[in-house]
Amino acid sequence: MAKPAILTVDDDPEVLQAIARDLRQQYGDRFRIVRADSGTSAIEAIEQLKLRNESVALFLVDQRMPNMSGVEFLEQALGIFPQAKRALLTAYADTEAAIQAINTTQIDYYLLKPWNPPEERLYPVLDDLLDDWLASFRPPFEGIRVIGSRWSPLSHQVKDFLARNQLPYQWLDIELNPEAQKLVSYAQLNCRQDLPLVLFPDGSQLSKPSNLQIAEKIGLTTRAQQQFYDLAIVGSGPAGLAAAVYGASEGLSTVAIEREAPGGQAGSSSRIENYLGFPVGLSGVDLARRAVTQARRFGVEILSPQEVVGIRPQPPYHMVRLADGSEISCHVLLIATGVSYRQLDVPGMERLSGAGVYYGAAMTEALSCKDEDVYLVGGANSAGQAAMYFSKYARQVTMLVRGESLTKSMSQYLIDQIESTPNIAVRPYTQVVEVKGEKNLEAIALSDIKTGETETVPATSLFIFIGASPRTDWLDGVVERDANAFILTGPDLMRESKRPKGWTLDRDPFLLETNVPGIFAVGDVRHGSVKRVASGVGEGAIAVQFIHRYLNG
């Protein structure tokens, strides 16, 4: 944590140098001594301190300065650092003004010039003021701060990126937090057009940043350190991370390329309670953090955020093209991109996405929904886990389910938890037919599937947890997929006992191998996979055995 600051202001260079010297000699080991030669430059200095989230313990200011007197400065400084102690340096002729300022500007003390010797006339007074300040001082949040609007899609994107990458941040809503409004003013930005504003601990800032800009700023690896790898993995959900751990631990130079954040869809799960070996459950964030730590310990290089936009097989190698235009090559390519929540295609969805309508994102937005009514669309485990998480914050959670109940798509342990939670309600045979609102979600139209009756209910938060949609368009013309775009592997490629078209090896494709030798697929993106975290981990581990067999061949 940065040292709290003592700010001294005087327009006389010799006096300013002398007081700064004496302050540094006595307090330099515990406080940072900042000096300014005018009230105007001092205001600019403390605005920058505020932007860096640093603290000011004491203002020690000369009263008689041109353009802005010491009292006038302290009146302004009081609005920026209201807890800081305030002391005036005055000449004998200014004592009357100083005494009046004690009553009008809440000045704590005034000191007469000259203050020599400081051991008698300066330090005892300041010691008392600083001890009093330290007694009530609470260190500020150390980390990234995000200033934005709850209804801004870009603000949601920034929060979601930080949360999924397990980066602690403080959220300051421009519409609710006066401090946020002041910080935007200090940064000399437009309150609306330049948001979100991301403030970093080193004092730097980014306005309306992309995920890549944030990643580069905080030191995430976005560019490959090598040109060639034994194993390149696209996606770092449970399946991809398992393959990375087993591949690297067995001597393969391994890179994992992740478009958003390690952990995949499972990484956004608020609670996974049926994963073997964790009897009290664990969050998706915890699982991802443990897996990433383990992978890096074995030397896995993780590129995030980075996206693969195309592949070009050149046996015995595979060329992988990244979104930034660069390429890497590998012996073996493993596709573990998982699935995304299917889009809800109803009027208003595109306009309000990120402004009250969200796909997943339970852990990112739950605090914003405190004491509100929340609606969830979906009846599988991801929706159930989100409902349980929201129930800790929201006044009421309503699950909108197309079927007659949750039993066909949700694990029984979750059903039991939902039934025993008083502020969760399940509405069967219900679908959303429209979302309404100008700048943010204000209401949703619900239809009863059995009767066709429609009603409109007020709502500010709607979360979508429906279906599974693989993003595999970038594999067009290279890797075979089924009618729903899931990747075909192993026996599913064999038609009438014939190997896939273009197959060049004198053997059948391995269990998790695609129609291109040396390109494998695991996890939810694979046709016929079991949509569970444990099965994804198992497939990632198994795939490495087939990869070794391929390399040995």
| 430 closest CA partner among 401, 456, 451, 464 | 401
Sign of the dihedral through C-alpha 325, 329, 335, 338:
negative
For tokens 């590129």, what's the residue? 303
Q: Domain count of the chain? A: 4
In the chain, count H helices and then E strands: 16, 24
- Candidates 377, 539, 387, 355; CA nearest to 467 is 377
Asked if residue 63 has pLDDT above 90, the reply is no
Residue 93 has pLDDT above 60, yes or no: no
Answer yes or no: are the C-beta atoms of 19 and 60 closer than 8 Å: yes
How high is the pLDDT of residue 182? 92
Indicate the pTM of the whole model. Answer: 0.84
What average pLDDT is seen over the chain? 92
Please state, in angstroms and rounded to a whole number, the distance separating the CA atoms of residues 512 and 374.
40
Q: CB–CB of 363/389 below 8 Å? A: yes
Q: How confident is the model at residue 108 (pLDDT cuts 50, 70, 90)?
A: confident
Q: Of the residues 86, 115, 136, which one is the last residue of a structural domain?
A: 136
Whether the per-residue pLDDT at 1 is higher than 80: the answer is no
The model's pLDDT over 237-287, given as tens digits with 9 standing for 90+, comes to 999 999 999 999 999 999 999 999 998 888 878 788 888 898 888 888 899
Indicate left, alpha or beta for 523 from its phi (over 0: left) and psi (-120 to 50: alpha): left
Is 215 a member of any domain? no
CATH number at residue 118: 3.40.50.2300
Say how far apart CA 244 and CA 51 lie, in whole Å. 40
Same domain flag for 388 and 273: no
Residues 479, 448 share a domain: no
The model's pLDDT over 134-172, given as tens digits with 9 standing for 90+, comes to 999 988 888 999 999 999 999 999 999 998 888 889 999
CA distance 201 to 292: 24
Whether 394 is in a domain gets the answer yes
Contact between 36 and 63 under an 8 Å Cβ cutoff? The reply is no
Q: Which of 358, 366, 339, 354 is nearest to 283 (CA)?
A: 366
What is the model's pLDDT at position 92?
Answer: 63
Mutual angle of helices 13-27 and 123-136, in 10-degree steps: 60
Q: Same domain, yes or no, for 480 and 459?
A: no
pLDDT at position 98: 67
What share of the chain has pLDDT > 90, as a percent? 77
* Helix, coil or strand: residue 129: helix
55 located within any domain:
yes
Instruction: Tell me the residue range of the domain where 69 lies.
Output: 5-136
Q: Is residue 268 part of a domain?
A: yes
Over residues 72-78, mean pLDDT: 91
Q: Taking 80 as the threshold, does the pLDDT of residue 317 lie above it?
A: yes
The string of pLDDT tens digits covering residues 457-493 is 999 999 999 977 899 999 999 999 999 999 999 999 9
Q: Are residues 23 and 108 in the same domain?
A: yes
Number of other residues whose CB lies within 10 A of the CB of residue 14: 8
| 130/17 same-domain check | yes
Q: Rounded CA gap, 547 and 553, in Å?
A: 10
Q: How far apart are CA 89 and CA 255, in angstroms?
A: 62
Q: Are 91 and 49 contained in the same domain?
A: yes
Match 């998706």 to its residue by tokens.
284
329 three-state secondary structure = strand
- Region 83-111 average pLDDT: 77
pLDDT(337) > 90: yes
Of 464, 479, 512, the last residue of a domain is 464
For residue 304, what are the CA distances in angstroms to 251, 259, 322?
A: 23, 6, 12
User: How would you write 157-219 as a 3-class SS string?
Assistant: HHHHHHHHCCCCEEEEECCCCHHHHHHHHHCCCCCCCCCCEEECCCCCEEECCCHHHHHHHHC
Residue 221 placed within a domain: no
The rounded distance, in Å, linking the Cα atoms of 364 and 341 is 16
Q: Are strands 519-521 and 327-335 parallel, antiparallel or unpaired?
A: parallel
Do residue 120 and residue 157 come from a single domain?
Answer: no
Give me the amino acid identity at 224.
A
Handedness of CA 171, 174, 178, 179 (dihedral sign): positive
Q: Residue 198: beta bridge partners?
A: 146, 206
Q: Look up tokens 């996206």; give the residue.
A: 307
pLDDT of residue 349: 93
Q: Where does 235-304 show beta strands of DSSP type E?
A: 254-257, 301-303
Q: What is the CATH number of the domain that holds 502?
A: 3.50.50.60
Mean of pLDDT values over 15-38: 95
* CATH number of the domain encompassing residue 181: 3.40.30.10
More confident residue, 522 or 202: 522
| Mean local confidence (pLDDT), 194-221 | 93
pLDDT at position 192 is 77
Q: Which helix (H) or strand (E) holds 239?
A: helix 238-249
Do 203 and 250 lie in one domain? The reply is: no
H-helix or E-strand spanning residue 229: strand 228-234
Query: Measured in Å, how far apart are the chain's first and last C-alpha atoms?
Result: 56
Residue range 398-427, pLDDT digits in tens: 999 999 999 988 999 999 999 999 999 999
Note whether 250 and 289 are same-domain residues.
yes
Is residue 477 assigned to a domain? yes
Examine residue 298 and state whether it is found in any structural domain, yes or no: yes
**Domain final position from 71, 106, 136:** 136
Of 264, 255, 265, the C-alpha closest to 221 is 255
Residues 6+ apart with CB under 8 A from 7: 34, 35, 36, 42, 45, 46, 56, 58, 59, 60, 61
Mean pLDDT, residues 525-545 taken together: 94
Same-domain status, 84 and 48: yes
Residue 223 lies in a domain: no
Say if CB 334 and CB 520 are below 8 A apart: yes
Same domain, 232 and 330: yes
Under 8 Å between Cβ of 342 and 466: yes
Distance CA(143)–CA(145), nearest Å, equals: 7
Residue 188 shares a structural domain with residue 95: no
What pLDDT score was predicted for residue 89?
A: 87
Range of weakest confidence among 53-62, 316-325, 327-336, 361-370: 361-370
